[in-house]
Structure 1
């Protein structure tokens, strides 16, 4: 979202620059302005960009240039994304090390890449999941209802439909409502017969932390609603995975003078970006009937972690191997903490 705001800001800036250009050198027929001083801060220009504020020396005032700026601001076109992705996939350690060492102009920043992939992941998820759009949030409410109340609603809707048929009235809306209720009833029956409810109730899991205890209670009473809320809020709190994961990575290099928290943060953010990209690829493969890809991709994260650890921190093969094994466990712990945080926020 920050890139979208940045693009809008650039559009507004271009409009102001156009006014200034009329006062200074004017614009040529090719839609470019040719300035001797920066239109933003007035500094004398030396090269293609102002050395004081960084604005481009020439302001493009054509429709094509406007959409070019839009694509550049939102998607980081002009080569950055295409230089970053191959390294992220195949040489993640080199990408991380070069970014940490200051070579950044050629690459998309880790946080921008991560946020874009998270947005893309949830867009793909909602586009590929099988659901009836007419059901929407009502289905969640139905699943949260008791079995008896859904059965009563279904009987009532069927009676209303019979009356509508007798009167010759349209029944499309009632048919859709009946279908939703029948699907909700089937889900509740499956849930009742699965034994999950009894198992969760029997465990009586509790926590001394009130918010976490609330989350556990919500999950025990209605796992379907809990999963729905997890899908809804995971996008908003996805950034929290970064601060959750960094301390775990620090434990692999405790008290190291060579590597600092900043190094670990860049590592984690690029790693999370790749894992998010992996989930996107798996979802798209599943949507096209290649569900087996999920199984194949299980082996990719450890290999990617090994390669990133080895080149980023310049450790031996053995050092990268045991750290990869440990990092896999740490990743599971980080995901568990993230799940508890989300459920604690949405519990009750």
Structure 2
């Protein structure tokens, strides 16, 4: 129970950190509350003479708050990013992603959360959710326990075989039955060790991947403690999730290689909004599956290709056929990008 509470606390902390990071990028400069100390005729931040409610030089409000109520308002805003533009952005991202992407590219941005701010917030919030569900902490290493049990079983079999040789014929049948049960357990333990990274049945990892190679060294490191390697991979994926953006942009460019209308910036905005939505979709599906609604979780994931189709069509003003074949191609490209990202993450986890 204590571990669950600890995971929940860490998850909420990550959510708060992520929201603060996204809020720092997205929020207006200066304070967010007009109550408290007044700045007089000059900006308290840079000293510029004030000509309105905001400083025209640095953007800070003329009035800065010094009350606990305003402080906790800022805290709530930082954690939840609670403002009108969020509620204008989310519905468009879910149902009209092409319109959202196109408007942001064309410069109509004041009403919406920027793609990078939304991406950061979704990544941190999703990681917090996985932590809260128990997926963010390293599990107890079962490899050492299985190996110890295997050694104990083998030693017991050896003792029973020695005892059997000196036993009477009637007693030998009982000992043979005990040995048979232990050998069955031994076989099961060897299978388990092979599955979780111990010595595999029927051979060793070195026979397939030599240890003197870089890949062999990584495999050996992961095999020593697979649970720790998985935890490191999860943490690295969370910290370096931004790498998905530069990895994915060239694949989108390949869909419009000779276009003079659509540039790298357009593709970057498209990719960032798309990845943010897909991460959120996976988080929602995971939550439904964790709650026992596996069918609902699968249905949620099936919305992904249709969302990609709508975003392509709306962003790049494509016809139905043009959006359809690009959606299919981009779906294949997406798996390639994910594979490249996973390779880098597991390389980092094994190093």
After TM superposition, the score normalised by the length of structure 1 is: 0.72
| Native 8 Å contact 2:309 2:323 kept in 1 | yes
1:86-131 Cα distance to aligned partner (Å, 9 max, x none): 1111111111111122222222221121121111112211222489
* Structure 1 CA distance for aligned equivalents of residues 147 and 321 of structure 2: 60
The answer for the alignment partner of 1:258 in structure 2 is: 261
The answer for the alignment partner of 2:90 in structure 1 is: 85
* Structure 1 CA distance for aligned equivalents of residues 331 and 40 of structure 2: 55
Any stretches of 5+ residues in structure 2 without a counterpart?
A: 1-16, 155-186
* Structure 2 CA distance for aligned equivalents of residues 301 and 295 of structure 1: 11
What SS class does the counterpart of residue 235 from structure 1 fall into? helix
Instruction: Report the CA distance between 1:36 and its aligned residue.
Output: 3.0
| Native 8 Å contact 2:150 2:190 kept in 1 | no
1:123 aligned to 2:122? Answer: no
Instruction: Report the CA distance between 1:245 and its aligned residue.
Output: 0.8
The answer for the alignment partner of 2:9 in structure 1 is: none
1:291-326 Cα distance to aligned partner (Å, 9 max, x none): 112321232111010111111111111111110000
* Structure 2 CA distance for aligned equivalents of residues 88 and 256 of structure 1: 25
| Native 8 Å contact 2:101 2:269 kept in 1 | yes
Any stretches of 5+ residues in structure 1 without a counterpart?
A: 15-26, 156-184
1:52 aligned to 2:51? Answer: no
1:246 aligned to 2:249? Answer: yes
What SS class does the counterpart of residue 114 from structure 1 fall into? helix
| Native 8 Å contact 1:122 1:235 kept in 2 | yes
1:39 aligned to 2:38? Answer: no
* Structure 1 CA distance for aligned equivalents of residues 135 and 138 of structure 2: 15
Match for residue 235 of structure 1 among 238, 252, 276: 238
1:343 aligned to 2:343? Answer: no
* Structure 1 CA distance for aligned equivalents of residues 23 and 119 of structure 2: 19
Instruction: Report the CA distance between 1:57 and its aligned residue.
Output: 2.1
1:221-265 Cα distance to aligned partner (Å, 9 max, x none): 776554343223211221111111111111111132111111111
The answer for the alignment partner of 1:111 in structure 2 is: 116
What number of residue pairs does the alignment pair up?
Answer: 295
1:7-39 Cα distance to aligned partner (Å, 9 max, x none): 89x9xx87xxxxxxxxxxxx9xx6352633222
| Native 8 Å contact 1:212 1:340 kept in 2 | no
* Structure 2 CA distance for aligned equivalents of residues 102 and 53 of structure 1: 22
The answer for the alignment partner of 1:271 in structure 2 is: 274
Match for residue 328 of structure 1 among 321, 327, 331: 331
* Structure 2 CA distance for aligned equivalents of residues 278 and 314 of structure 1: 25
| Native 8 Å contact 1:128 1:283 kept in 2 | no
From the superposition, tell whether residues 227 and 265 of structure 1 become closer, same or farther in structure 2 (CA, over 3 Å).
same
* Structure 1 CA distance for aligned equivalents of residues 115 and 201 of structure 2: 44
Q: Which has the larger radius of gyration?
A: 2
Match for residue 208 of structure 2 among 201, 204, 214: 204
From the superposition, tell whether residues 93 and 5 of structure 1 become closer, same or farther in structure 2 (CA, over 3 Å).
closer
Instruction: Report the CA distance between 1:52 and its aligned residue.
Output: 1.2
* Structure 2 CA distance for aligned equivalents of residues 63 and 42 of structure 1: 26
* Structure 1 CA distance for aligned equivalents of residues 328 and 113 of structure 2: 29
* Structure 2 CA distance for aligned equivalents of residues 32 and 263 of structure 1: 43
* Structure 2 CA distance for aligned equivalents of residues 204 and 325 of structure 1: 35
What SS class does the counterpart of residue 256 from structure 1 fall into? coil
After TM superposition, the score normalised by the length of structure 2 is: 0.71
* Structure 2 CA distance for aligned equivalents of residues 3 and 65 of structure 1: 18
The answer for the alignment partner of 1:174 in structure 2 is: none
| Native 8 Å contact 2:218 2:350 kept in 1 | yes
What SS class does the counterpart of residue 42 from structure 2 fall into? coil
